[in-house]
């Protein structure tokens, strides 16, 4: 069961990152939001990514606010 959950987090995180990259080019999508969602999902399984996100988010107040809200929301939904 944990392998399925890990694969799901990594797959969904990768999809959100791809959508986020498209959102940086297309004016319709909010790329930053999808990039953060994807990185948060991947950080559930890869701790070094979580450390790097925290390091970057602490330097930027806007990103830090969104990161904390999204991280709490994602942990509540996915039970991490």
Write the DSSP symbol of residue 1: -
Domain with 48 in it? 2-78
Structure tokens at 26: 């297309």
- 28 has pLDDT over 90: no
- 53 has pLDDT over 60: yes
Q: How many domains does the chain have?
A: 1
- 19 has pLDDT over 80: yes
Contacts of 13 (CB under 8 A, 6+ apart): 37, 38, 39, 40, 41, 42
CA-only gyration radius of the chain, Å: 12
Q: Can you give the pLDDT at residue 26?
A: 86
In this prediction, what percent of the chain has a pLDDT beyond 70? Answer: 98
Contacts of 53 (CB under 8 A, 6+ apart): 39, 40, 43, 67
- 44 has pLDDT over 80: yes
Residue where the block lists tokens 């709490």: 72
- 5 has pLDDT over 90: no
């Amino acid at each position: 069961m944990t392998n399925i959950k890990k694969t799901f987090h990594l797959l969904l995180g990768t999809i959100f990152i791809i959508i986020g990259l498209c959102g940086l080019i297309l004016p319709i999508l909010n790329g930053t939001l999808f990039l953060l969602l994807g990185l948060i999902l991947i950080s559930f399984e890869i701790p070094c990514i979580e450390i790097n996100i925290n390091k970057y988010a602490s330097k930027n107040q806007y990103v830090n606010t969104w990161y904390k809200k999204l991280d709490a929301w994602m942990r509540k939904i996915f039970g991490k």
